[in-house]
Amino acid sequence: MPVQLRRVSSDVEFNDLVQCVCESYAAPVNRLWRLFRHDPSPAGFIELRDRLIREFRDDPNACWLKIIDTDIGDKVVGAALWNTYTENPYPTFEDHPVEAEWWPEGVKEADRLNLETFIEATDLGKLTYEACGFVYAGTNYLESAKRNASPEWKALERDMQTPIHMYRMWRPAGGKWVEGETQLPWKED
């Protein structure tokens, strides 16, 4: 399977890109994707595609990359969104210059700019990111329990299998991690 990495440059590329992303998060099911990004109905697909196009147009820090298989008509077989910041985009958090949703091109850009990298990982992604030099920085939980929940709410809880968790991962600038020497940004001296 000969593949090529390409930067997304136009709105028309989002149909195939979104189709690929939705398929990849469907099996195994990524509950966070389902909850925050995508309603799997045809109308949900259009809403997601249009929302990603708007975000793509409006965010100068966003860079969508796609991997295409040239043997099967340039079919999109992978995609990634990178948001690269040379200054802290978060007014309430320190030291978050780069966020990534995919490896490795964004990390190469972070290394070129000598920036540290932060990502959020699923169970499957955590091991991959650790193998690529990321360090576990904590777990976030999405809890849905509520008092006097309606039948619709309870059905959503069953569908989403809450609580849902994701891992915060960090990679130092340049990827140079030395156990016991590298200062972790979330630990005090």
Please enumerate in sequence order all residues whose Cβ is within 8 A of that of 83, keeping only pairs 6 or more positions apart, or say none: 59, 61, 62, 63, 89, 98, 99, 100
Report the candidate in 97, 94, 113 with the shortest Cα–Cα distance to residue 105: 113
Please give the pLDDT value at position 165.
84
What does pLDDT average to in each consecutive run of 10 residues of the chain (189 residues)? 87 94 82 72 90 92 89 90 75 40 67 84 82 86 84 82 85 83 71
Please give the pLDDT value at position 50.
94
Find residue 119's DSSP bridge partners: 100, 169
Please give the pLDDT value at position 14.
96
What is the chain's percent helix, strand, coil content, to nearest 5? Answer: 40, 25, 35
DSSP 95: S
Please give the pLDDT value at position 103.
53
Q: How far is it, in rounded angstroms, from Cα 162 to Cα 149?
A: 14
Cβ atoms within 10 Å, residue 136: 13
Spatial contact of 112 and 163, defined as CB atoms under 8 Å apart: no
Please give the pLDDT value at position 9.
93
* Alpha-carbon separation of residue 11 from 14, 53, 69, 99, 126 (angstroms): 6, 6, 20, 23, 31
Please give the pLDDT value at position 25.
82
Please give the pLDDT value at position 46.
92
